[in-house]
């Protein structure tokens, strides 16, 4: 018993057959069938990136939209959803407002009626909005006390400056300016069907699914003030911004720089370069600063693709006492992947992982719904999943190196550290220029 069984290259993911239709009010409906569990998943994506919403406004919209409609208060809304075995939640950021939910299949008509009630008739009752404001205030206080969120705040400002992406943690003074009447106006302007997409995946025929959406949302009207999305420039000022957090037993190290959106010609090679560098457990970053050196628990490198910009972030939360050595190793691994070709074994492993995990993700209704929403968000055809898998399979080590030298080189990234400055400043400054 000595031969380790081989696994072969995983088969690429396949989406179920997608059917789409644009309704009279401009609402685009995208439907697919996935059997297995008696559920239906729904996502309604309303783009806002053409006229980006500030973080504080999107956060307040998100938290207040389900506080009541013209006919249901928050408690009735919640109760009516439960009766159908449904969940519905609202998520909003600079780029989009999403109403997403899941329901027992036999509760679909009722679920869509409630969702439409929220989309068309959200009331933003004054007393409830005041309550939500206080909850958001608490939430912001909590985020400010988390070192990872502090790092994200500093890095966002560094990368994006005055663009709404640059301010993920608004000040309390910005929160004070949001009122129920402002939210009602924002809702009337932004929560409109033209330009929006409904993704619906369930154990029913696509025709049936589209028909249900059409019936529920027939009364929805409105056009956005659209403008094309203005790309946000990703800046990478040289130097490291050290944010003092006295008493921290760890330093959050963060390195970020530009990346590319889905569909870009560099994207498959960059996805693989990032994976090999730090995108999964079997990466160089993990092998070095976690498994060899024990500096950290979950180092990672992730690509973020947003409507107006794409960027990548390398992050490690390391023991205070090894801040400089850890940063040095991160720089070393960046330099190494940017300068030298990766091995065939590393390349094959990363390809298999990307292809295999894509297939795993598409094995559930929720996964199919998320994948279709992402494709809709970036205006990509349904064949993109298959095409992307094929493109990934063909990437060469030379292409990975070209992508790495462009996007993962030490000089391509800017740096932030959040930790006990008194303890770490001197050692960090010896290996990395501070701001």
Is 145 a binding residue for other proteins by CB under 8 A? The answer is yes
Q: Which residues make Cβ contacts (< 8 Å) with residue 344, sequence separation at least 6?
A: 397
Is 378 a binding residue for other proteins by CB under 8 A? The answer is no
Q: Which is nearer to other proteins, 309 or 400 (CB)?
A: 400
Contacts (CB under 8 A) with other proteins, residues 279-318: 280-282, 287, 290-298, 317-318
The dihedrals phi and psi of 315, each to the nearest 5 degrees, come to -140, 140
Is 131 a binding residue for other proteins by CB under 8 A? The answer is yes
Is 79 a binding residue for other proteins by CB under 8 A? The answer is yes
Q: In which element (H, E) is residue 190 found?
A: helix 180-190
Is 434 a binding residue for other proteins by CB under 8 A? The answer is no
Q: Which is nearer to other proteins, 37 or 423 (CB)?
A: 37
Contacts (CB under 8 A) with other proteins, residues 346-365: 348-349, 352-353, 355-357, 359-360, 362-365
- The mark string for 93-112 relative to other proteins (x by CB under 8 A, - otherwise) is ---------xxxxxx-----
- The mark string for 314-353 relative to other proteins (x by CB under 8 A, - otherwise) is ---xxx----------------------------xx--xx
- Select the residue interacting with other proteins from 69, 94, 250, 305 (CB under 8 A): 250
167, 180, 293, 300 from 297: Cα distances, Å: 28, 43, 11, 10
Tokens of 299: 């180092």
Closest of 62, 139, 142, 54 to residue 98, by C-alpha: 62
267, 304, 305, 344, 385 from 392: Cα distances, Å: 9, 18, 18, 14, 11
CA 78 to chain centre: 26
Is 247 a binding residue for other proteins by CB under 8 A? The answer is yes
Q: How far is the CB of 183 from other proteins (least distance, A)?
A: 17
Q: How far is the CB of 308 from other proteins (least distance, A)?
A: 31
Q: Which is nearer to other proteins, 293 or 405 (CB)?
A: 293
Site size toward other proteins, by CB under 8 A: 83
Tokens of 111: 């679920």
The crossing angle, in degrees rounded to 10, of helices 384-394 and 344-361 is: 170
Contacts (CB under 8 A) with other proteins, residues 180-219: none
Dihedral sign from CA coordinates of 13, 197, 136, 75: negative
Is 369 a binding residue for other proteins by CB under 8 A? The answer is no
């Amino acid at each position: 018993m000595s031969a380790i069984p081989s696994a072969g290259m995983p088969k690429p993911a396949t989406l179920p057959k997608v059917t789409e239709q644009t309704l009279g009010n401009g609402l685009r409906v995208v439907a697919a069938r996935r059997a297995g569990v008696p559920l239906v998943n729904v996502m309604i994506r309303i783009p806002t990136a053409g006229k980006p919403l500030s973080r504080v406004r999107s956060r307040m919209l998100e938290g207040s939209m389900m506080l009541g409609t013209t006919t249901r208060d928050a408690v009735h809304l919640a109760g009516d959803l439960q009766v159908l075995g449904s969940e519905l939640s609202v998520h909003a950021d600079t780029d989009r407002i999403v109403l997403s939910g899941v329901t027992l299949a036999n509760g679909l008509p009722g679920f869509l009626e409630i969702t439409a009630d929220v989309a068309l008739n959200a009331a933003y009752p004054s007393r409830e909005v005041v309550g939500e404001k206080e909850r958001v205030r608490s939430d912001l206080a909590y985020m400010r006390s988390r070192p990872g969120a502090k790092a994200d705040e500093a890095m966002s400002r560094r990368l994006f400056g005055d663009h709404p992406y640059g301010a993920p943690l608004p000040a309390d003074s910005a929160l004070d300016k949001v009122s129920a009447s402002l939210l009602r106006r924002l809702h009337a302007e932004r929560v409109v069907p033209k330009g929006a997409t409904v993704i619906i995946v369930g154990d029913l025929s696509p025709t049936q699914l589209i028909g249900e959406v059409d019936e529920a949302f027939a009364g929805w009207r409105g056009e956005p003030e659209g403008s094309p999305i203005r790309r946000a420039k990703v800046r990478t000022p040289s130097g490291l911004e050290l944010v003092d957090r006295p008493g921290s037993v760890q330093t959050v190290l963060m390195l970020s720089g530009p990346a590319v959106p889905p569909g870009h010609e560099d994207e498959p090679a960059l996805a693989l370069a990032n994976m090999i560098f730090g995108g999964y457990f079997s990466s160089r970053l993990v092998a070095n600063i976690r498994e060899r050196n024990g500096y950290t628990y979950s180092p990672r490198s992730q690509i973020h693709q947003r409507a107006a910009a794409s960027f990548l972030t390398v992050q490690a939360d390391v023991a205070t006492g090894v801040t400089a050595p850890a940063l040095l190793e991160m720089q070393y691994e960046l330099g190494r992947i940017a300068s030298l070709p990766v091995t065939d074994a590393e390349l094959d492993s990363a390809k298999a992982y990307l292809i295999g995990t894509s297939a795993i993700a598409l094995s559930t209704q929720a996964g199919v719904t998320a994948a279709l929403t992402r494709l809709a968000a970036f205006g990509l055809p349904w064949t993109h999943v298959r095409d992307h898998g094929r493109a990934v399979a063909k990437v060469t080590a030379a292409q990975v190196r070209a992508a790495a030298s462009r996007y993962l080189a030490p000089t391509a990234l800017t740096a932030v550290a959040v930790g006990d400055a008194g303890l770490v400043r001197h050692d960090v400054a010896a290996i990395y220029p501070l701001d």
